[in-house]
Chain A
Amino acid sequence: EVQLVESGGGLVQPGGSLRLSCAASGFTFSSYEMNWVRQAPGKGLEWVSYISSSGSTIYYADSVKGRFTISRDNAKNSLYLQMNSLRAEDTAVYYCARVDDAVVVAAFDYWGQGTLVTVSS
């Protein structure tokens, strides 16, 4: 069974940093592209960042470019999001989501349960 479990969320002051993790199981993690998608309270979904299966290709939404860093450790079946210079508008539930381009092209077929990040003083 595919499982994605996020952790690392919490309350942080504006300008602070936080590192999110996503532990993957039930599939060959190193073969899949991964993403972070966020959802502000009561709002819609927003794509945040993408990383290829090898980690060699990375993309960011303009809203987080230069502040967030996505990475992965295929040996540990883990995805990460380092968030620096946090702003109030970064407050959201952050989901990790898998892309399986071999089957469901350019769509997020599995999602974690999310971890809440709150940026407030």
Chain B
Amino acid sequence: QSALTQPASVSGSPGQSITISCTGTSSDVGSYNLVSWYQQHPGKAPKLMIYEVSKRPSGVSNRFSGSKSGNTASLTISGLQAEDEADYYCCSYAGSSTNWVFGGGTKLTVL
């Protein structure tokens, strides 16, 4: 199973909004509303930011939102803050044989 496709990097200025795309196939992103997004700061464990395409776990800022259209999911971060600078990974459930597939990761730089 190939990894989901994410842009290697995105950037934005404080206060701006950015969107990270995550393209899969009809076997993963397109088949299940089970896309999740993770934030990872250098040297730290990943942190769940979005699950089931657009739901936020308790404690995650409402500046983070998710959506999906066809085989592509997206993470939008509004009102960029310096602490949002991190790597972001999408993940999709892909059925009981493949289970989970991750994207290659996107490095977000806050200018």
Contact = CB atoms under 8 A, between A and B. Distances in A.
Interface of A: 35, 37, 44-47, 50, 59, 61-62, 95, 104-109, 111-114
Given A108-B46, A108-B48, A111-B45, 5 more contacts: A47-B102, A50-B100, A104-B55, A106-B36, A108-B38
Classify chain B's interface size: 20 to 34
A112 B55 CA distance: 22
A45 B46 contact: yes
Contact of B57 (A35, A59, A104): A104
Given A44-B102, A45-B91, A47-B100, A112 B45 contact: yes
Given A50-B99, A106-B93, A108-B36, A45 B48 contact: no
Given A105-B51, A106-B36, A113 B45 contact: yes
Interface centre among A35, A37, A50 (most CB of B within 10 A): A37
18 contacts: A37-B46, A44-B104, A45-B38, A45-B105, A46-B102, A47-B91, A47-B100, A47-B101, A50-B99, A105-B51, A106-B51, A106-B93, A106-B100, A107-B48, A107-B51, A108-B46, A108-B91, A114-B45
For the complex of A and B, 8 pairs with smallest distance between CB atoms: A107-B51, A107-B36, A47-B100, A106-B93, A111-B45, A106-B34, A44-B105, A104-B51
A49 to B, nearest CB: 9
Contacts of A106: 32, 34, 36, 51-52, 93, 100
Contacts of A37: 46
Contacts of B36: 104, 106-108
B3 interface: yes
